[in-house]
């Protein structure tokens, strides 16, 4: 017999959690059983408009026919062989990623964290094999998020996430973003790389200005460092370009991607130039499931759609529409909404600090709209890239209805 979804919580458990799952997530009390495009259907038959895309994952919405076909076709052929053998799917996807980016080499893994850690490892090993084993430190930025493993947490240096995890891994110099002097001062003889998200998604949808990214590129060139972009959240069309760094007109040496490239199937990758990949020698890295045939079938299918002529232009057009509606919402609810932030279809509303962002997400859920929290009291808005114009109108109307239920408490 299946457990009722609202089974009584064990002592100490969060009421929205099953008593047999660890209480790591503050889950909303709704369970989805089916999805279609930008819409999700709950177990009770109610439908919800998805403006969260599973945190930037479902770039083509739910149950996209081309992805479904690619996955089911592959499922009848071959699921897994390991990386002990050649993989036509990996070779094809890597070739396409290299053809459309700065990269010459790709390593496939399963998640964003794994891609970020692999990117850090690639940078350190680059210096190691090139005669500079002392260069292992990585400059990272306050408010960053690179994942949940111990090293990824150390990289982002967020005390909230590091609490209780022992002494944080050494090798990271975490500095404020947009402070050129702090950046220059952080570079020393042990520095291997600078690592940054072009838009800090979890950190409050903070767009790193193009001039800051350009300065990082220039400093890396000057000091022989590698520039790592974490495009786990911003990549694969999310900001209206295939990768967000294209807006700044510069290229990294290494890039971590995940989320969107799998369209909902677990898939991550490290992309690198030939030079930056030189430390990733035989036996230096690996992943049992990384680049498995199912993931490759879906990854290639995602690219089929995202690389179609005109697709990214459409994303930018819809993003402009969304931004305009959000600006109107800000004007209408000026006491609640302090700022509209973001790039493309990765947008955020910074709320008045007296109104907890979780209240806004809850109010939106009551309007059957899914939104996502971010740091800095920002509510994140990331609809599927192929959302319809009508659904943007519908979603922003629901945001307005949700905000109309919130009040700023009197001081
Ligand atoms: C920029 C960035 N890097 C890394 C990660 C970690 O990815 P994952 O949860 O797939 O390990 C995330 C996840 O939100 C992210 O937004």
Residue 86 has pLDDT above 90, yes or no: yes
Ligand 1 atom 4: residue of nearest CA: 146
Tell me: pLDDT of 4 over 90: no
Tell how far CA 47 is from the center of its chain: 25
Predicted pLDDT of residue 299: 98
Contacts of 251 (CB under 8 A, 6+ apart): 101, 102, 217, 245
Report the C-alpha gap between 205 and 381 in whole angstroms: 9
Q: What pLDDT, on the 0 to 100 scale, is given for residue 2?
A: 36
Which residues are annotated binding-site positions?
Answer: 112-113, 145, 148, 230-233, 287-288
**Is the pLDDT at 5 greater than 80, yes or no?**
no
Residues β-bridged to residue 174? 140
Please state the residue numbers annotated as binding site for pyridoxal 5'-phosphate: 112-113, 145, 230-233, 288
pLDDT of residue 16: 67
* R_g of the chain computed on alpha carbons: 21
Q: What is the mean pLDDT of residues 43-58?
A: 97
Query: pLDDT category, 17, cuts 50, 70, 90?
Result: confident
- The b/e string for 176-194 (b: 16+ C-beta within 10 A; e otherwise) is ebeeeeebeebbeeebbbb
**Residue 3 pLDDT more than 70?**
no
**Among 6-20, 65-79, 221-235, 241-255, the least confident range:** 6-20
pLDDT of residue 411: 73
Residue-wise pLDDT tens digits, 160-191: 999 999 999 999 999 999 999 999 999 999 99
Mean pLDDT of 11-39: 84
CA distance 323 to 396: 10
Cβ atoms of 89 and 123 within 8 Å: the answer is: no
Average the pLDDT over 82-98 and give the result: 98
Q: Which of 144, 146, 149 to mutate to test the pocket of ligand 1 (most atoms within 8 A of CB)?
A: 146
The distance in angstroms from the start CA to the end CA of the chain is 51
Query: Ligand 1: residues within 6 Å at CB?
Result: 55, 111-113, 116, 145-147, 197, 201-202, 230, 232-233, 258
- pLDDT tops 70 at residue 102: yes
Residue 267, pLDDT score: 98
pLDDT at residue 382, as a whole number? 98
Query: How far is Cα 113 from Cα 199, in angstroms, rounded to an integer?
Result: 17
Q: What is the pLDDT of residue 15?
A: 53
Q: Using the predicted structure, report yes or no on whether residue 130 has a pLDDT greater than 70.
A: yes
Dump pLDDT digits (tens) for 338-365.
999 999 999 999 999 999 999 999 999 9
- How high is the mean pLDDT of the chain? 95
Residue range 80-106: mean pLDDT, rounded: 98
Q: Percent of the chain having pLDDT more than 70?
A: 96
pLDDT single digits (tens) 358-380: 999 999 999 999 999 999 999 99
Mutate which of 112, 236, 261 for ligand 1? The one with the most ligand atoms within 8 Å of its CB, which is: 112
- Residue 49, CB half-sphere, CA atoms under 13 Å: how many? 22
Q: How far apart are the C-alpha atoms of 239 and 234, rounded to whole Å?
A: 6
């Amino acid at each position: 017999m299946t457990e009722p979804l609202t089974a009584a919580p064990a002592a100490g458990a969060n009421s929205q959690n099953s008593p047999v799952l660890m209480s790591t997530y503050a889950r909303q009390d709704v369970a989805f059983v089916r999805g279609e495009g930008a819409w999700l259907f709950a177990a009770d038959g109610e439908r919800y408009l998805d403006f969260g895309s599973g945190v930037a994952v479902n770039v083509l919405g739910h149950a996209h026919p081309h992805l479904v076909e690619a996955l089911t076709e592959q499922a009848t052929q071959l699921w897994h062989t390991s990386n002990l053998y050649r993989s036509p799917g990996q070779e094809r996807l890597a070739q396409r990623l290299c053809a459309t980016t700065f990269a010459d080499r790709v390593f496939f893994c399963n998640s964003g964290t794994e891609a970020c850690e692999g990117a850090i490892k690639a940078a350190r090993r680059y210096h190691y094999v090139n005669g500079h084993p002392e260069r292992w430190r990585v400059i990272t930025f306050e408010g960053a998020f690179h994942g949940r493993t111990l090293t990824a947490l150390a990289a982002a240096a967020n005390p909230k996430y590091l609490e209780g995890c022992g002494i944080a891994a050494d090798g990271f110099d975490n500095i404020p973003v947009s402070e050129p002097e702090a950046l220059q001062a952080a570079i020393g003889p042990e520095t291997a790389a600078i690592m940054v998200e072009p838009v800090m998604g979890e950190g409050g949808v903070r767009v790193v200005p193009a001039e800051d990214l350009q300065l990082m590129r220039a400093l890396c060139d000057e000091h022989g460092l590698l520039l790592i972009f974490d495009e786990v959240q911003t990549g694969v069309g999310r900001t209206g370009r295939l990768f967000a760094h294209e807006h700044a007109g510069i290229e990294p040496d290494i890039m971590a991607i995940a989320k969107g490239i799998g369209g909902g199937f677990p898939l991550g990758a490290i992309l690198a130039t030939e030079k930056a990949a030189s430390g990733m020698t035989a036996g230096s890295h690996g992943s049992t499931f990384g680049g498995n045939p199912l993931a490759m079938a879906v990854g290639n299918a995602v690219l089929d759609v995202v690389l179609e002529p005109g697709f990214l232009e459409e994303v930018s057009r819809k993003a402009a529409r969304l931004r305009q509606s959000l600006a109107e919402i800000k004007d209408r609810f000026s006491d609640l909404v302090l700022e509209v932030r973001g790039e493309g279809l990765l947008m955020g509303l910074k709320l008045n600090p007296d109104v907890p962002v979780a209240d806004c997400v809850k109010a939106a859920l009551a309007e059957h709209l899914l939104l996502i929290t971010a740091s800095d009291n920002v509510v994140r808005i990331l609809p599927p890239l192929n959302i319809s114009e009508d659904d943007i109108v519908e979603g922003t109307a629901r945001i307005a209805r949700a905000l109309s239920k919130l009040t700023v408490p009197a001081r």
